[in-house]
Amino acid sequence: MGGVLDHRSFRLLFAGQSISSLGDRLAPVALAFAVLDLTGSVTDLGVVLAAQTVPLVVFVLLGGVWADRLARRRVMLVSDFVRAASQGASAALLLTGSAHVWQLAALQAVYGAARAFFGPASTALVPETVPAPDLQRANAVLALSQNITAVVGPGVAGVIVAALQPGWGLAIDALTFVGSAACLVAMPVFAAAPRERASMLHELRAGWSAFVSRAWLWITVACFTLYTGFAWAPFQVLAPQVARAWLGGPGAWAAIAVALGVGSVAGGVVALRLRPRYPLRIPLAVFVVVTPALTALVAAHGPLPVILAVALVDGAAGTLFNTFWFTALQSDVSPDELARVVSWDWMGSVALLPVGQALSGPVASAIGISATLYGAAGLTLLLFASALAVPAVRKFSPPAVTPAG
């Protein structure tokens, strides 16, 4: 790990991302309890969460264009300051007792729009901070930090909400964006290569062309678009209810979340050293078996220790995939169009998520929670097996990855 942290630019990027990642883990818990304390309505909570997600979907492609047009560090700085302001304003409204749901929804929409610009820029900035041979290790270190905060953050948020007020969780989140911005300000300015400007529509089309010209890329993104919308979303919505009613209560769901987080940390440690010739093959093969098994076990109200063991493996596979995936993107796509290509990946990750979240409840009411989760498990198996069966995906080897053995 020390090798990549020897590079000052990456060290500052890592510090800023780690700080803001902790805030990202605090905010959802604090926001959920803030809305429920205000109105007690899960519908209102859904509105606030959707208000954050929809602008992300709407603006992420523009975020990719601007991250290729401008200095990526500058795009990230503006995003950090905007998100600090939106979360700070939300916290102020809550702590002064003057908050209304519509105000929180509007501020979270601002947050989501700013995040749409930050995501593509941050992924595209990594290759500018380390030499090409260190890319995978850099991505693994970033993932490891994010996964550690995924384990620690919700617990810290729970303490803040219980001991203080939800508004303090959002206030701390706002401060983490200030910390991230401070790290970006201290980062050396990169001399950006001159880029020929074209119309926004032309640059969007160019990004799309670069995206669809790589079969390994668009096929995998299509797989995950359907998975997040119609398999992960039902699990996210329905599994907490299964845990509460049949697995031992809310603590069981917390244990599953922690198991996924601990597995993710373990996967990050493995990703620091593992350099497979065909990087997408291993995690997708694990997904084919383990991810549908986890969903099916929850649907069947299986033994909690077994569910936790499977969740550990699933979390590890997720970090392996993300590390290999971002390294593949950064290695195979030219720097001048990387952010635009990454924005299509981001779009695929979130495009159908609000739809799946909205449909999960009505579908479960019609056919039952377990039947819905069994259907999600079957779809997961079909999607990942289909992606793995495509030679362009299974045999893809990024140019910068040195074959093992």
Positions of CATH 1.20.1250.20 in the chain: 1-187, 206-397
In the chain, the N- to C-terminal Cα span, in Å, equals 22
Which residues neighbour 164 within 8 Å (Cβ) at sequence distance 6 or greater?
none
- At residue 404, the pLDDT reads 39
Interatomic CA distance for residues 344 and 347, integer angstroms: 5
Cα dihedral sign for 39, 356, 20, 188? negative
| CA 87 to the chain's CA centroid | 19
Interatomic CA distance for residues 278 and 284, integer angstroms: 11
Residue 248's region, left for phi above 0, alpha for psi from -120 to 50, else beta, is left
Orientation of helix 233-246 relative to helix 250-271, angle to 10°: 130
| CA 61 to the chain's CA centroid | 16
Tally the C-alpha atoms within 13 A of residue 215's C-alpha that lie toward its C-beta. 11
- At residue 368, the pLDDT reads 92
Written in H, E and C, the secondary structure of the chain is CHHHHCCHHHHHHHHHHHHHHHHHHHHHHHHHHHHHHHHCCHHHHHHHHHHHHHHHHHHHHHHHHHHHHCCHHHHHHHHHHHHHHHHHHHHHHHHCCCCCHHHHHHHHHHHHHHHHHHHHHHHHHHHHCCCHHHHHHHHHHHHHHHHHHHHHHHHHHHHHHHHCCHHHHHHHHHHHHHHHHHHHHHCCCCCCCCCCCCCHHHHHHHHHHHHHCCHHHHHHHHHHHHHHHHHHHHHHHHHHHHHHHHCCCHHHHHHHHHHHHHHHHHHHHHHCCCCCCCCCHHHHHHHHHHHHHHHHHHHCCCCHHHHHHHHHHHHHHHHHHHHHHHHHHHHHCCHHHHHHHHHHHHHHHHCCHHHHHHHHHHHHHHHCHHHHHHHHHHHHHHHHHHHHHCHHHHCCCCCCCCCCC
Name the residue among 68, 77, 154, 69 with its Cα closest to residue 114: 77
Per-residue pLDDT of the chain (405 residues; tens, 9 = 90+): 557 888 899 999 999 999 988 888 888 778 877 887 888 776 677 778 778 888 988 899 998 998 888 888 999 999 999 999 999 999 999 999 888 989 999 999 999 999 999 989 998 999 989 998 888 899 999 988 888 887 787 777 777 777 778 889 899 999 999 999 999 999 886 655 555 666 778 888 888 999 999 999 999 999 999 999 999 988 887 887 788 789 987 778 778 888 888 999 899 889 888 888 899 999 999 999 999 999 999 999 999 999 999 999 999 999 999 999 999 999 999 888 899 999 999 888 888 888 887 788 888 889 999 999 999 999 999 999 999 999 999 999 987 544 333
Interatomic CA distance for residues 371 and 32, integer angstroms: 27
Domain boundaries 206-397, CATH class: mainly alpha
Which residues neighbour 48 within 8 Å (Cβ) at sequence distance 6 or greater?
31, 35, 101, 104, 105, 108
User: How many Å is the Cα radius of gyration of the chain?
Assistant: 21
Q: How far is CA 206 from CA 36, 61, 196, 403, in A?
A: 44, 12, 12, 31
- At residue 196, the pLDDT reads 60
Name the residue among 231, 211, 230 with its Cα closest to residue 221: 211
CATH fold label, 1-187: Growth Hormone; Chain: A; (1.20.1250)
Orientation of helix 215-227 relative to helix 369-389, angle to 10°: 180
- At residue 31, the pLDDT reads 83
Which residues neighbour 222 within 8 Å (Cβ) at sequence distance 6 or greater?
348
